[in-house]
Amino acid sequence: MSFTGIPVAALDFYEDLEADNTKSFWTAHKHIYDEQVKAPIEALSAALEPEFGAPKFFRPYRDVRFSKDKTPYKTHQGVWFTESARYLHISAAGLFVAGGYWDTSSAQVDRLRRAVADDVSGAELERAVAAVGKAKFELGGQQLTRVPSGYPKQHPRAELLRYKSLTAHREIGCPAWLSTKRAQTEIAKALRGLAPLVNWLETHVGRD
């Protein structure tokens, strides 16, 4: 199917699921998930694929084996574009977009810290962070409580040195265009806005 927007019914579905996260609710309303959530987001992902790479469509079921929270279903539908390190999801709150490196290896963390500490690449990162901030993204990622050993506590980029993973995200919510074909254009624009940070990570940290 071609993408025509993310219906309000998708957000309503997740609002109801948050209130009744049970197998009985899911079974009775799975057709709504299939038609109003899964189908339009798969169509959107296919439309974005030429620019952002093949999408990974996350399963709606939670892994509860090691969690105290035993609710069986995720309250959002996420899509991860591995090639471009971009992510989006839909929930009761609306649209959320993000990008960057979430799950970093020890080797990547080491490269990240060295690049942050370097005068040239570190300054480039500061410019990248400023650029995504101007585009209304919020910096995120796993952080240490203090500057890692081996780096001066008074380093000019001490705050950035504390990151073990580095991302940026924006809660877009439910603007009027979300349920229209214009959503594809606006979402692609938002994902492009992450380029300064993602490009810096690809250049100075890289994949394992």
Give the integer Cα–Cα distance in Å for 129 and 54: 26
Phi, psi of 176 (to 5 degrees): -60, -30
pLDDT over 80 (residue 184): yes
Q: What's the whole-number mean pLDDT along residues 18-43?
A: 98
Q: What is residue 148's DSSP assignment?
A: P
pLDDT over 80 (residue 206): yes
Note the helical H segments in the chain. 8-19, 23-32, 39-52, 106-117, 119-134, 158-161, 182-192, 195-204
Phi, psi of 46 (to 5 degrees): -65, -35
Q: Strand 86-91's sheet: what is its strand order?
A: 55-57, 76-81, 86-91, 94-101, 166-173, 138-140
How does pLDDT run across 52-89, given as a tens digit for each residue? 999 999 999 998 888 888 999 999 999 999 999 999 99
Counting Cα atoms < 13 Å in the Cβ hemisphere of 182 gives 7
Give the integer Cα–Cα distance in Å for 108 and 100: 13
How does pLDDT run across 99-157, given as a tens digit for each residue? 999 999 999 999 999 999 999 999 999 999 999 999 999 999 999 999 999 999 999 99
Q: Name the pLDDT band for 48 (thresholds 50, 70, 90).
A: very high
pLDDT at 64: 84
What six digits make up the tokens of 70? 């035993």
67 neighbors 48 (Cβ within 8 angstroms): no
pLDDT at 180: 98
What six digits make up the tokens of 196? 């300064």
